[in-house]
Amino acid sequence: MARIATWSAAPGAAPRDARALWIESFRKVRTETERRASSLSAEDQIVQSMADASPVKWHRAHVTWFFEQFLLVPHLPGYEIFDERFPFLFNSYYVAAGPRHARPQRGLITRPNAEDVACYRAHVDAAVERLIEIVPDDAADTVFSILEIGLNHEQQHQELLLTDILHAFAQNPTDPAYDPDFQMPDSAAGPRGFVPVPSGVHAIGHTGDGFCFDNETPRHDVLINDMRIARHLVTNAVWLEFIEAGGYRTPSLWLSDGWTIVQAEGWQAPGYWRETDGAWHAMTLGGSKPVDPNAPVLHVSYYEAEAFARFAGKHLPSEAEWEVAARSAMLADAFGIAWQWTRSAYLPYPGYRAAEGALGEYNGKFMVSQMVLRGSSLATPAGHERVTYRNFFYPPARWQFSGVRLAEFA
Ligand SMILES: [Fe+2]
């Protein structure tokens, strides 16, 4: 990681207090992962419903391996790896960290079982807390920087844990509910419509003392032309108009690659939508629910977002336009409901260079062929969102909580 700042709780704290705050932050994040997994049975935790999704048990173990590999092995004297077989099983994509199990076969790993993974987590938890307590002052900045990345990494997997189990449950004809009490977050009230984004040169990218991932830097100037951005997210009601107008059957609305997938996959509606007795239902974390026309559309791919924008006579915002608007508090529901596709390819900011070593693989090597999403979703853990945050997925992906915000030009 090229740029590492300090966990928001820690700046300015005295060294002893800082250690206590790091332990508190560490426990909070680790507990949240277990809370999200707690309603899932051991069977639920094994399943891998597609190559892009990972089993819950794997997520719990992989984030633990991350701390073991990058924090404990290099920095805690005398640390003993919990199980020498685990790095092969739970390394995701870090080539510099050694060989690893094939991603599409993660669901075949019935052992270690969920209980073994709980023991692995406890072993690593104790060691990380020990390291926080004993790390010498002159090594503390390095250790806490890696710890901070590990915490943010685990938060990313907390979101994936939900998106992946939703995909698994959506394959089950009984429509299991991850959380029977799940409610869609309310959309912000207020006038709808488009608001002008101030044109001219603006700086985007991270600044200040808080944490960011390296892909949010360097901060740099961009030119915003005259344009307007939608205050609100696109709703299911207008998406239904797109469906009823034949949007999924009209090739002229689609990018060529998108149209190929529409045909190959038989897409007729957003992901997880099913028509039952003439009414659309959608699989949610609360099980199958009637599609709420007033709620923002979820589980659409970049291809669908782009086709919808064309249908509506609009565009998608660039990530720079989104960031400038969000910084000016012009956007309703910028965070907490749906990641918003932008028309920006996921590319390095000017002058970006990934760090040396395995952690340099975190973001940099994925900067091709994917599109940027901005904001955050209903599955994003509290405190993980940022106005400069760059999420990225391949254009056909729609198992994330991904939605649409439109833009228009003069
Ligand atoms: Fe990871």
387 Cα: distance to centroid of ligand 1 (angstroms): 22
Instruction: Estimate the crossing angle of helix 56-67 against helix 15-37, to 10 degrees.
Output: 160
346 Cα: distance to centroid of ligand 1 (angstroms): 18
In whole angstroms, what is the distance from residue 99 CA to residue 66 CA? 14
- Using DSSP bridges, classify how beta strands 194-197 and 227-230 pair: parallel, antiparallel or unpaired: antiparallel
pLDDT at site 16:
76
H or E stretch covering 228: strand 227-230
The amino acid at 267: W
In whole angstroms, what is the distance from residue 323 CA to residue 57 CA? 35
The amino acid at 179: D
CA distances from 31 to 56, 154, 385 (A): 15, 11, 19
pLDDT at site 14:
57
Give the long-range contacts of residues 187-190, CB within 8 A, separation 24 or more. 187/232, 187/233, 187/235, 187/294, 187/295, 187/296, 187/332, 187/333, 187/337, 188/232, 188/332, 188/333, 190/231, 190/332
pTM: 0.95
For 255-301, the pLDDT digits (tens) are: 999 999 999 999 999 999 999 989 999 999 999 999 999 999 999 99
287 φ/ψ angles, rounded to the nearest 5 degrees: 95, -170
* CA atoms lying within 13 Å on the CB side of residue 7: 26
SS3 137: helix
Which of 301, 293, 296 lies closest to 269 in space, CA to CA? 301
92 Cα: distance to centroid of ligand 1 (angstroms): 6
pLDDT at site 13:
55
Look at the block and give the residue holding tokens 């030009």. 409
201 Cα: distance to centroid of ligand 1 (angstroms): 35
- Residue 180's region, left for phi above 0, alpha for psi from -120 to 50, else beta, is alpha
Which of 29, 273, 229, 313 lies closest to 148 in space, CA to CA? 29
Residues with pLDDT less than 50, the chain:
1-11
64 Cα: distance to centroid of ligand 1 (angstroms): 10
In whole angstroms, what is the distance from residue 198 CA to residue 330 CA? 11
pLDDT at site 9:
45
253 Cα: distance to centroid of ligand 1 (angstroms): 35
pLDDT at site 355:
87
